[in-house]
Structure 1
Amino acid sequence: MVLAAFLHDDKSGVSGNGEAMDANDSISPPATDAPALPDGRLPAFEPHTLRPFVLGEIHARPFRPVATPRIVLHYAFTCDAEQARADRLWLAERCASQGGPSPDEGMRSHAFAFGAGLLRWEQHAEFITYTWDGPAAAMAPFGGVPGSHPFGSGFRAPGPLLSAVRLDLLPSGADDLQVVERHFDPASLSAFQADGEAAIAATDFRQDGDGMTRILVLNRSMNENQAGAFVQRLLEIETYRTLALLGLPVAIRLAPEIGRIERDLVEITAHIQDTSGLEPNRALLEKLSSLAADLEAGAAASAYRFGASRAYYEIVKARLQAIAESPLPGHMGMSAFLTRRLAPAMRTCQAMEDRQANLSRKLARATTLLRTRVDVDLEQQNRNLLESMNRRARLQLRLQQTVEGLSVAAISYYIVGLIGYLAKAAKDAGLPMLEPAVATGVSVPVVLLVIWHTIRRIRAHHAEGDDGH
């Protein structure tokens, strides 16, 4: 209803804010700083710095039509940021030498004609791929490679080789199943139909003499666009399943270290129950801190690899689902084959991550418990130290009071002596005075009282000064 009111403002006589409109009122267009342009063109606003990237990402790796028959050579190389920059410069030089356009700055994919085929370059987060497809020299699978391919002596690999695939796309025939079984190891053969029965694909995931994984695709009814999409998905499955498995060696390498930390934690926890005292508990706390540092170092070094393996495994599963395979009779499909091989490796990586997380929590709890005991021991030690200081202060006070008493007697003795000397001097001078002995005796209690009172006032004054601070 509110929407209807807005849509029929001009008829109902009610403005958008609900106030009645006058007959002379008019609706003003919203103010804008954009200049008016001729010919009905729209203004160009300042774009976000990442707008070209996010808009171009959806078109970064499009499926390219692939004709049948065709040979596809695909290489994936791991690289760091410096190697990626050097590879981009080399690619620009290679494109110039072939008379083709160089990739623009920021582009992550580029394709140009090379020989009788097409060379495609793609830059990913931690690897770079080069894919070349050219005409097949013969209709027989895995024959000679065309000499016009780009991976000869002039090719510069950007980094260590991770994945290498040779895919032959050939027309289907009457003996497809025999062709498949003849060119692959039956022990690890994966053969399936895709897109219903539009194509047959097969591989044994083994490397040939050139170190390449061979994949055979027999095209029954796919057009060039369908064939291009299917071929790219198969290449991505092989590349990403290799990348996903990079987490497994890390998990295997970390297993002994994690086991050692778990055993040491059990031993330290048992010692916590039998240990008392500040120094023994502090020594156990240092051992726990050392174990925690070792664990965190391994977790920090493996966190990216395990996370990347999970992401690549999800991509593999998505590509397997996209090809819509159905196994050939008597053979295992690619999904079943890779699930049997990849799933245990991924579970191993996940289990190692879980062990790291659980062990970190256990170490944190043990450290908190032990630190609490150390704090309690420190508080007890401080309490004992304060009690000892109080005892020494009380002894010092008693000693001070004793010294003050002796000081009163000593000062009084000297003052009384001075009074005696004055009395004797006055008598010798003929002044009317008491006898020196009497004067001296009478002055003793008076002097004691005055000195005692004076010392008390001084001590009270000092006490007031301490209370003020």
Structure 2
Amino acid sequence: MGPATEHPLRYALVNELHARPSPRLKAPSTCVFVAFKEPRDAANRDLARDMAHLSELVDRHGGPRPDPDESHYQGRLGRHDLKWESHTEFVTYMATTPGLPIRPFDPSAAAIFSEEWQKGAPGRRVAAVMVQIDTLPAHPQEALDRISDWFARDSLTAVWVLEEAAMIAGDFRIDADGWMRFAIFVRPDVGEGRIGRIVHRLVELETYRAMSMLALGRARGLSRRLNELEPRLSAIVEGMTDDDRAADAVLHDLLAVSAELEAQAVQHSFRFGATKAYEAIVMDRVSALRETRFMSRQMLTEFMRRRYQP
């Protein structure tokens, strides 16, 4: 069969299935992850600026040059394996290295993403995650003792995932250096691909959690404005029974309120629609981990139900 029989998008669409593979990781290893989003109209941003920022990082570390027409990149930068992806509203960078820092969650592990380079990003940082992957101790209590020193007790989540192939722990707090921390302990027989998928789902969970909550400030501001409009609307309705008031004046006031409500709806519809979509992804990533309880500790689903979904 010749090229004339093929749909022009056939190969491109199949290749897209393999364009964003999860990293392959061994234990022990370290993953640092950042996501940047422009504060306004991020869906219509200049993608060339994102590519220039990626190219700057690659050039600093002597990695292979990215294709300016691609929305994803993978390359070796010194000791780091870098994975970059461009999404509708944000871009993500994931750098993984073998081994663990001498001090748990030492900020030096994220040196590839220097402060100077991050300040030069077209957008602002909406997620910054550090993940430590280690081998599960023979006695799970030892893992529990370690995470008790690393995370805040009141918000600690610790769960088995994927039929107890690994244990994930974190507290969804930002440390003094600006990183959200997660620890993963994997059984010795867990493969590199599976470890990579666990890490990928975890950083996606945090990224989409952050993106979904961007609407919170807008929701609060909108609630205040609606509360301000309510007495004004009530006064208009009450005034409709006043025979001394001209009908065209009442109509003018009603149209003014209606126009403002419509404007508010237009301004907020994209953000609120995106929030629903991102929230669905968050819960999908939690579900995909197939968690079970670890030594009576709080589960991800419980944390999400109590602290995130409200």
TM-score for both structures, normalised by structure 1: 0.60
State the shift of 1:294 in Å: 1.0
Which protein shows a greater Rg?
A: 1
Residue 251 of structure 1 pairs with residue 223 of structure 2: no
Q: Structure 1 residues 335-344 or 143-152, which shifts more?
A: 143-152
CA contact (8 A) 1:123 1:129 kept: yes
Residue 217 of structure 1 pairs with residue 184 of structure 2: yes
RMSD (CA atoms): 2.3
CA contact (8 A) 1:120 1:130 kept: yes
Tell me what 1:265 maps to: 233
Higher percent of residues as strand: 2
Tell me what 1:166 maps to: 130
1:92 paired residue among 55, 67, 71: 55
Structure 1 residues 269 and 138: CA distance shift in structure 2, 3 A: closer
CA contact (8 A) 1:60 1:108 kept: no
Equivalent position amino acid for 2:36 in 1: F
Tell me what 1:318 maps to: 284
State the shift of 1:114 in Å: 1.0
CA contact (8 A) 1:191 1:328 kept: yes
1:334 paired residue among 270, 287, 300: 300
Tell me what 1:191 maps to: 158
Structure with bigger RCO (C-alpha 8 Å, 6+ apart): 2
State the shift of 1:103 in Å: 2.9
State the shift of 1:85 in Å: 1.6
SS in structure 2 of the partner of residue 145 of structure 1:
helix
Structure 1 residues 284 and 54: CA distance shift in structure 2, 3 A: farther
Structure 1 residues 152 and 113: CA distance shift in structure 2, 3 A: farther
Distance 1:66 1:246 in 2: 31
Equivalent position amino acid for 1:92 in 2: S
Tell me what 1:234 maps to: 202
Residues 354-387 of structure 1 show CA distances to partners (whole Å, capped at 9, x for unaligned) of: xxxxxxxxxxxxxxxxxxxxxxxxxxxxxxxxxx
What count of residue pairs does the alignment treat as equivalent? 301
Structure 1: stretches of 5+ with no match in the other structure: 1-40, 345-469
State the shift of 1:207 in Å: 1.0
Distance 2:182 2:123 in 1: 24
Equivalent position amino acid for 1:286 in 2: H
Structure 2: stretches of 5+ with no match in the other structure: none
Tell me what 2:173 maps to: 206
Distance 2:296 2:203 in 1: 24
CA contact (8 A) 1:91 1:102 kept: no
Distance 2:212 2:231 in 1: 30
Residue 284 of structure 1 pairs with residue 250 of structure 2: yes
Tell me what 2:88 maps to: 125
Structure 1 residues 111 and 89: CA distance shift in structure 2, 3 A: same
Equivalent position amino acid for 1:243 in 2: M
Equivalent position amino acid for 2:79 in 1: A
CA contact (8 A) 2:61 2:78 kept: no
TM-score for both structures, normalised by structure 2: 0.89
Residue 307 of structure 1 pairs with residue 267 of structure 2: no
State the shift of 1:342 in Å: 1.9
CA contact (8 A) 2:58 2:77 kept: no
Distance 1:143 1:89 in 2: 29
Equivalent position amino acid for 1:106 in 2: D
Residue 103 of structure 1 pairs with residue 66 of structure 2: yes
CA contact (8 A) 1:116 1:148 kept: no
Residue 157 of structure 1 pairs with residue 121 of structure 2: yes
